[in-house]
Structure 1
Amino acid sequence: MSDDVRDSLIPYDEIVQDALRAVVGRVLSQIVGYDSLPGEHHFYITFKTQAVGVDIPAHLIAKFPDEMTIVLQNRFWDLKVEQDHFSVGLSFNQTPSILTIPYASITAFVDPSVDFGLQFQVSDDDDTQPEPHDEADNDRPEVISEDGSNVVTVDFGKKR
């Protein structure tokens, strides 16, 4: 069978990624109204700072020109969950900020308290590698479990 027959006209990879990103929105909607997470839960959310629709303070974009990880655990406020994005108040160096993050910009969502994680591919039109950057106070080491327990990695490579 030729490769042409195997090429799908249905964008399965995009459909699956969108569905899994909806999981992030659904999880966040469970904690709307809270200012800290119940029990030992805490979320690491990594996103592309330059993605369309991301709205964060300029000083954070300057410090994290490509990717940033935020932590939702004990001190956040005004969490609003919408169909295609969420916004949340966080403090950086004791400066309160509101961040708006589209689900399409998220590259990872992890709750290490229950060994759960999702990883996503964000399409880069130019196929360049992320720029190196200093770690933020809320950056985390890679938490994705080696044994793969409760971790879903979505990695649809480009056909060459």
Structure 2
Amino acid sequence: MNDTTPDSLIPYDEIVQEALRAVVGRVLGQVEDAGGVLPGAHHFYITFKTGAPGVSVPPELRARFPDEMTIVLQNKFWDLAVREEDFTVSLSFNQMPSKLVIPFSAITAFVDPAVDFGLQFQAVEEDEDDLASAENDSANGASERDVASRITSSEDGSNVVSVDFGKKK
């Protein structure tokens, strides 16, 4: 009997990643439909690759976060617009308004700490330096440890979903 898993001709990992990213789009679409108002205590930490194709952030933010960035959608955001492939949102960084365009394919993590829900995604482009996701300070002041613990803590009963389709060796 052979213990190795055969290579799949069906790209399950891509299909699952796409479906989970659609969850983020649907949630953001509901917030957009509600006029940009988050229901109850919900708020979102969204981590994304700043160098991924289609990402648009101001040059000073790209210089400050050359690999990955976490934004917080809670109190101070506006102009949220959700499209099929991406979303745009305006945030204030050091009291300077900035518009960001973030393709869903660039997102590496989505967390709603109000209900202990989180999703982690495979990186669009994997680098050896990508060992710790969400290590950058969020734009609205969350510490690196706070964001990382919300994204990776699933042993405490939270609903973090991480899908990794690495081949068995």
Q: What is the aligned partner in structure 2 of residue 50 from structure 1?
A: 51
2: distance between equivalents of 1:92 and 1:151? 28
1: distance between equivalents of 2:167 and 2:86? 26
Bigger helix share = 2
Q: SS state of the match for residue 31, structure 2?
A: coil
Cα separation, partners in 2 of 1:3 and 1:10, compared to 1, 3 Å:
farther
What letter matches 1:20 in structure 2?
Answer: L
State the Cα distance separating 1:128 from its structure 2 match. Answer: 2.1
Contact 1:85 1:100 in 2 (8 A): yes
Q: What is the aligned partner in structure 2 of residue 146 from structure 1?
A: 154
Contact 2:68 2:136 in 1 (8 A): no
* 1:111-130 CA-partner distances (Å, limit 9, x unpaired): 000000000011436x4213
State the Cα distance separating 1:38 from its structure 2 match. Answer: 2.3
Q: What TM-score comes out, normalization by structure 2 length?
A: 0.84
Contact 1:79 1:87 in 2 (8 A): yes
Say if 2:59 is the partner of 1:81: no
2: distance between equivalents of 1:95 and 1:131? 30
Query: Matched residue pairs, number?
Result: 159
Q: SS state of the match for residue 83, structure 1?
A: coil
Cα separation, partners in 2 of 1:10 and 1:4, compared to 1, 3 Å:
farther
What letter matches 1:146 in structure 2?
Answer: S
1: distance between equivalents of 2:96 and 2:73? 16
Structure 1 stretch 2-11 or stretch 149-158: which is displaced more?
Answer: 2-11
Residue segments in structure 1 that go unaligned for 5+ positions in a row = none
State the Cα distance separating 1:75 from its structure 2 match. Answer: 1.0
Say if 2:70 is the partner of 1:69: yes
Contact 1:35 1:75 in 2 (8 A): no
* 1:138-159 CA-partner distances (Å, limit 9, x unpaired): 3542113332532111122256
State the Cα distance separating 1:134 from its structure 2 match. Answer: 5.8
Q: SS state of the match for residue 30, structure 1?
A: helix
Identity of aligned residues (%): 63
Q: What TM-score comes out, normalization by structure 1 length?
A: 0.88
State the Cα distance separating 1:5 from its structure 2 match. Answer: 7.0
Residue segments in structure 2 that go unaligned for 5+ positions in a row = none
Contact 1:36 1:75 in 2 (8 A): no
What letter matches 1:114 in structure 2?
Answer: V
Q: What is the aligned partner in structure 1 of residue 60 from structure 2?
A: 59
- After TM superposition, the structure 1 = structure 2 runs for residues 1-160 of structure 1, keeping only pairs within 5 Å, are 2=2, 6-32=6-32, 33-124=34-125, 127-130=127-130, 135-138=137-140, 139-140=142-143, 141=146, 142=148, 143-144=150-151, 145-147=153-155, 148-157=157-166
Q: SS state of the match for residue 27, structure 1?
A: helix
What letter matches 1:6 in structure 2?
Answer: P
